[in-house]
Structure 1
Amino acid sequence: MNTNTAYVHGYLPREARRLCDQADTLAALLHAGTAYPAGSQVLEIGCGVGAQTVHLARNSPGARIVAVDRSEESLAQARAYVTEQEPEADVTWRTADLFHLPFEKAAFDHIFACFVLEHLRDPDRALAGLRRLLRPGGTLTVIEGDHGSVVFHPDSLHAHEVIGHQVRLQAAAGGNALLGRELQPLLTGAGFGNVVIRPRTVYADRTRPTLVNGFTRNTFIAMIESVRDDALGVGLTTAADWDRGITDLRRTAEGDGTFHYTFFKAVAVNPLS
């Protein structure tokens, strides 16, 4: 990620657990259709603690993955996690800033970026740089969420407000929690061709307990809860209003609650000319 951009969710151990829980819960949804041939040179940017790297390696045995993150601490966690989960994976770990990647032009057959662009002040410039590293005819896969896609029952203005606080905090840090809806124009504007966007929807209710726990509680609500101190600290809300909103949000994971969220998965091609 850009060193000028703060990661609004923080780097505490609970965030690493949340990322891994999220990746495992959503693996079938987000990684379906993503598999690279043996011998392919694949770049994963913003790999963090390796939560998505595990699934990249699992779906593409024999691919040569270069996983990059700016945080040496995160890379150490990623190396240990992937070694434990996928000991045969061919992964090279590199510490680097997304805007200063130490690779030659057209060095990669494929590039994968999951939940990265949403944290950048200048995703257009990042995409232009990534296109330079991709061989002609190579593919870029980008996955992003969009907090504006949240729909739940029982509905609650107070719950929507705490989600809005997270969106505002991410924007203040230079990111965009609503980026999913912008992927098509972003990729097209960066010069990629054959841009295909596929919405990937998560819907959870009592008949899908794995998603209720893995996504509604442990991924989405946990993410919103993690910014409480920041929201209070900058005066976006009061403790009473925050607690009321979180209580209502948690209500969506109870027996008669439902929760819906849409991710956007884009696949684009670096044109041959």
Structure 2
Amino acid sequence: MGTDYVHGYTPAETRRLTDQAGTLADLLHGGTTYRPGSRVLEAGCGVGAQTVQLVTRSPGIELTSIDISEESLGQAKARVAEQAPHATVDWRHADLRELGDEKFDHVFVCFVLEHLADPGDALVRLRNLLKPGGTITVIEGDHGSAFFHPRSTRAQAVIDCLVDLQAAAGGDALIGRRLQPLLEQAGYDDVQVGPRTVYADQNLPHLVDGFTRKTFIAMVESVRDRAIAAGLRTEAEWAAGTRDLDQAAEPGGTFHYTFFKGVGRT
């Protein structure tokens, strides 16, 4: 169940994930709370940016958070200890196949399926970990939903590099649009999927800074060296593309992106 995390395990990526979680907390977590005492599995906790949201919005849950990166898991532990010191989390360096016959009331998966070669298999494995009547909540983005002003083919080309590199690594940066069929095919009942849209312009400076600059543009920049090494763009072409993309975060620029949130039941 391993993955080549295309954005890399760097301090810059940790900052990006933190900025993203804080900026989009209400958008992504709105409507998701669990009763005290519920056993909840967070599959792929990364650096703990979403873990903080889970334990603060649903106090009293019995949360198990797993990740395949031991380094990220260490950062997650430190983050939760600092930001939610009263929360109790069962941290595990593991992948989905190592959870055996454990059963949970709920599973939460955020920005994980996009990096997996077989997300359908992962969803089936997670369904087998749920108690009867349990739920899964899945949140994913879709880079094909990014559109912006001023329009630029050079900027679009660097975004396409991210999509292509993620595909080469076995993932799918366009997976948001596939959530409904993936959940249905994995055997979940009562599947409901809906868009969670971000729109930013100069009248929404917190989103321009927190999302356009520090989340999306930073995500594209994280694959610069890979894209150039793979021959997808030259250094000059990359610089021109990101320079154009930066204009979406300047006065007069606009940016739009859609996340998809799906819920299924056993």
The answer on 1:234 being equivalent to 2:230 is: yes
The correspondence of residues 74-223 of structure 1 with structure 2, limited to 5 A, is 74-98=72-96, 100-105=97-102, 107-223=103-219
Identical pairs, percent: 62
Q: Deviations over 1:121-147 (max 9, x none)?
A: 001111110000001110000000000
Task: Tell me the distance in 1 between the aligned counterparts of 2:130 and 2:61.
Answer: 16
Letter in 2 for 1:104: D
Which aligned runs of 4 or more in structure 1 are off by greater than 2 angstroms? Answer: none
Name the CA distance, whole Å, in 1 between partners of 2:179 and 2:57: 24
What's the TM-score, normalizing by structure 1? 0.96
Tell me the secondary structure at the aligned position of residue 49 of structure 1.
coil
> What does the per-residue CA deviation read over 1:8-60, in whole Å, with 9 as the maximum and x for residues that have no partner?
00001111111011000000100000000000000001101100000000110
Whole-angstrom distance in 2 between the partners of 1:218 and 1:177? 18
- Which moves more between the two structures, 83-92 or 108-117? 83-92
SS at match of 1:20: helix
* Alignment partner of 1:14 out of 12, 15, 19: 12
SS at match of 1:81: helix
1:227 & 1:10 partners in 2: Cα distance? 8
Q: Which secondary structure does the structure 2 equivalent of 1:252 belong to?
A: helix
Q: How far apart are 1:103 and its partner, in Å?
A: 3.7
Structure-2 separation of matches of 1:174 and 1:17: 25
Report what 1:264 is aligned to.
260
CA distance in 1, matches of 2:265, 2:59: 22
Q: Distance in 2 between matches of 1:228 and 1:206?
A: 27
Q: Distance in 2 between matches of 1:37 and 1:95?
A: 26
Q: Distance in 2 between matches of 1:173 and 1:37?
A: 37
Separation (CA, whole Å) in 1 of partners of 2:185 and 2:119: 11
- In the TM superposition, what is the alpha-carbon distance from 1:101 to its structure 2 partner? 2.7
Partners in 2 of 1:101 and 1:201 — Cα distance?
Answer: 35
How far apart, CA to CA, are the structure 1 residues paired with 2:88 and 2:134? 20
For structure 1, which runs of at least 5 residues remain unmatched after alignment? none
For 2:101, give the aligned amino acid: E
1:46 to 40, 44, 47: 44
Residue type at the aligned position of 1:27: A
Looking at structure 2, the residues matched to 84 and 104 of structure 1 have their Cα atoms a distance apart, in angstroms, of 32
Superposition CA RMSD, Å: 0.7
The amino acid that maps onto 2:58 is S
Q: Distance in 2 between matches of 1:61 and 1:104?
A: 26
Distance 1:16 1:151 in 2: 25
* Aligned match of 1:34: 32
Q: What is the rounded CA distance, in whole Å, between the counterparts of 1:93 and 1:123 in structure 2?
A: 23
In the TM superposition, residue 88 of structure 1 has moved relative to its aligned partner by 1.1
Query: Quick one: distance in 2 between partners of 1:41 and 1:153?
Result: 44
Q: CA deviation at 1:253?
A: 0.2
